[in-house]
Chains A and B, each alone.
Chain A
Amino acid sequence: MPITIKNSAGGGVTLDSTTSSNETLQLPSGGGTLVRTASPSFTGDSTITSGNLIFATAAKGVYLGVTSATAANLLNDYEEGTFNLTMTGGNGNPSSTQTLGSEYVKIGKLVYFRSFGTLNNSGASGAIAFTGLPFTPTGVTIASIECNSQGTFSLSPYGYVSGTVIYINQMRSNNTYIAINHNVASSGEWSITGHFATNS
């Protein structure tokens, strides 16, 4: 049977122990729900002695560094996982599908990714690119790459991330850039690291 404490001045329960840390409001061990009818405030730090904090509704989070709900301060997404980048060629893809095993971490709108592996680009020609980013980027960004054996270039290569494609380019001068084309090799090491923003 529930107990309701109620009067015109408001109701409430105060736990007051003469021994510090002995004030405990305990729910049944079989589970239970602490129901609130308004947004409660807590004074002082809060500690979860075990377990994690789980929101019952998706896309809810924590406003950091502010004292009111401000959209720009809401951290409401974190995710880590894997994806595959697939190598393509502007004039022809590799004879067999070539993918780089990759990892991502998404914190809020920002996605960090790392790809590494050895590919065989036999049969490929034209400009090198990779498809298969795990999220759809907003705007463009630059990725750092290592390209061993499978590109023809004389200057440092970089990845130009546009849409969901990473184009492999090099700067030819201070204001011109050029695509790096496939140089067929049965084994070439690739490393691509970068980050981008996403609205998804």
Chain B
Amino acid sequence: MALTKHVSQDKIEVVGEFKHVQVRTCTKVLEDGVELSSGFHRHLVNAGDDYSAESTEVQAICAAVHTDAVVAAYAAHLEASALGG
């Protein structure tokens, strides 16, 4: 009877005009390969964020979609909505 923990990024999506990268991390606890429990944790990587600590796959996606133009557009969007409403 062996308990193991398996962590994987099971869903990575690029969403919206500013190419937000949504990452879902799934953590499973298995007993002899049979799932006992699982849970999700999510985080977003926005254009302009430092993604150097992200997984290799997420880094590759961010490098592809977070172009200078997207980063500048998102920064301008944040500036415009800084106070909100």
Q: Which residues of A contact B (CB under 8 A)?
A: 79-84, 90, 104, 127, 131-136, 140, 160, 162-165, 167, 169, 177-179, 199-200
Binding site for A on B (CB under 8 A): 13, 15-16, 18, 20, 22, 24, 39-44, 46, 74, 77-78, 81-85
Given the known A-B contacts A167-B81, A177-B84, A200-B15, are A134 and B42 also in contact in the complex, defined by CB atoms under 8 Å?
yes
**In whole angstroms, how far apart are the Cα atoms of A187 and B15 in the complex?**
35
Task: Provide the bound-state CA to CA distance between A167 and B77, in Å.
Answer: 14
Residues of B within 8 A of A132 (CB): 43-44
**The 7 nearest A-B residue pairs measured at CB:** A81-B40, A160-B84, A134-B42, A167-B84, A136-B15, A200-B15, A136-B20
Question: Given the complex of chains A and B, what is the CA–CA distance between A131 and B82 in angstroms?
Answer: 12
**Chain B residue at minimal CB-CB distance from A178:** B83
Query: A90's contact among B20, B77, B82, by CB below 8 Å, is which?
Result: B82
Q: Which residues of A have CB within 8 Å of B85?
A: 140, 160, 162, 169, 177
Pick the contact of B44: A80, A134, A178 (CB < 8 A).
Answer: A134
Partner of B24, one of A81, A179, A199: A81
What distance in Å separates the Cβ of A14 from its nearest Cβ neighbour in chain B? 38
Complex Cα gap A127–B18 (Å)? 23
Q: How far is the CB of A175 from chain B (nearest CB, A)?
A: 11
Please judge, given known A-B contacts A82-B41, A104-B42, A199-B15, whether A167 and B22 are in contact too, CB under 8 Å.
no
Cross-chain contact B83 with A177 (CB below 8 angstroms): yes
Residue contact B42 to A81, C-beta cutoff 8 Å: yes
Chain A residues, Cβ within 8 Å of B41: 81-83
B22, B39, B84: the one contacting A162 at CB < 8 Å is B84
- Residue among A79, A160, A162, A164 making CB contact with B20, cutoff 8 Å: A164
Nearest chain B CB to A45's CB is how many angstroms away?
Answer: 30
A200 to B81, CA, bound (A): 22
Measured between beta carbons, the chain A residues less than 8 angstroms from B81 are: 162-163, 165, 167
A131 CB, min distance to chain B CBs, angstroms: 7
